[in-house]
Amino acid sequence: MLLTAISFFLIGALLIQIGFILFYGVKLKGVRMDFDIKKSFPSQPVSVIICAKNEARNLSRNLPEILNQDYTDKDGNTLYEVIVADDDSEDNSFEVLQNLSQNYPHLRPVKFSKSEERKWPGKKSALHFAKQQASHNFLLLTDADTCPRSSFWIKNMMASLNNRDNPAPVVLGYGPYKKQNSFLNVFIRWETIHTFLQFASAALDGHPYMGVGRNMLHRRALIEKPVSANYANCSSGDDDLWLQNVAPNQKLEVVASPEAHMLSHAPPTFQKWIFQKQRHNSTGKYYLTSIKINLGLYALTHALSWLAWVFIWLTSSSFFYVILGLLLVRHVLFGVLVKKWSLHLRENFSGLQILLCDIMWMVYNLLLSPYIFFKNKNQWN
């Protein structure tokens, strides 16, 4: 009886897991991948928003790539401004910004000092302050430690809004990590795609719960919307908790064209990566209950899709072939989905890498799930 009950439980879990994968595959067809924009002229100006704290080196290296974007009207006039809020840096970040502004008149450095009113912890107050300085109706967010993959980043992110009567309030972009020769780097990049499959499909289905703050576009009017107590009290969550506040149950645009990617350096060591994921996971406890149930159900059925192999290997269940068949279907569908999107997103993982990373994600969840219950003590991220 016990084996039969466990067998039915595993069959149900595998069917749910297959359902998730099919859902992702169907919804992701709505991702915007290709735009014929290189010879076109934009119609909407945009404000690029960046917050920086002790980022002099990154600003020197990455900001010129943003300031030299191809986003002009037919007369060659720049149609975007770049607002960088220096959040009381102790290095020469503001000096770097002032020097760059002499050559780039569309760069607007602003100071956010300790004397300014800080409504919220972390970088949220500085981010809100920077948004308030914007001159245009659309705000494109990124970070000081990221750089665009191409000079058409802004054009691609704005393409879904230009010449549209009723554009989405938020456009979610993709933020990959640069490739390095290590398995940790492979797993971090795989996990980034895996996360994208989840949040992009949810946003396209009208249930957005997160995006990447280093590549997100939204209407300026959204900064006036009230935020929840959870957002106000948590030092992180300036992207996911904010999105859940301002755009609940709304279908959003997702742009993943390679020319619209914003690249970052992945954590170089396991210790630094774990610290980053601990911070991310500790924010998860503030998610809406429905989102936590959905994400928890996916993680649980994902783990069972691997633990089921142990069950059929160690036992003689009469449902052996049913479970085996569902396992094979799940792994083939998942492998095809990840391989397809790894090609779309210029990662191109091998079948073995997808397999190993899929197993590692189960281990990762088991190790880091306790941090969901911990308080995020990070003050700026």
pTM of the model: 0.92
**pLDDT of residue 95 exceeding 70:** yes
For the stretch 234-271, pLDDT in tens is 777 888 989 998 888 899 999 999 999 999 999 988 88
Q: Which residue has the higher pLDDT, 217 or 115?
A: 217
Q: Which residue has the higher pLDDT, 333 or 235?
A: 333
The answer to whether the CB of 38 falls within 8 A of the CB of 152 is: yes
Residue of 61, 48, 73, 70 lying closest to 150 (CA atoms) = 70
3-state secondary structure of 364: helix
For residue 369, the model assigns a pLDDT of 67
The CA-CA-CA angle for residues 305, 310, 315, to 5°, reads 120
| Lowest-confidence pick of 12-26, 39-53, 210-224 | 39-53
The mean of the pLDDT values for the chain is 90
Most confident range, picked from 217-231, 267-281, 350-364: 350-364
Q: What domains are defined for the chain?
A: 2-28+289-373 (no CATH), 31-268 (3.90.550.10)
The answer to whether the CB of 255 falls within 8 A of the CB of 157 is: yes
Q: What separation in angstroms does the CA of 283 have from each of 174, 254, 357? A: 20, 23, 23
Structure tokens at 239: 């992207």
Residue of 18, 22, 14, 2 lying closest to 308 (CA atoms) = 14
The CA-CA-CA angle for residues 75, 76, 81, to 5°, reads 125
The count of C-alpha atoms lying within 13 angstroms of the C-alpha of 333, restricted to the half-sphere facing its C-beta, is 20
For the stretch 141-163, pLDDT in tens is 999 999 999 999 999 999 877 65
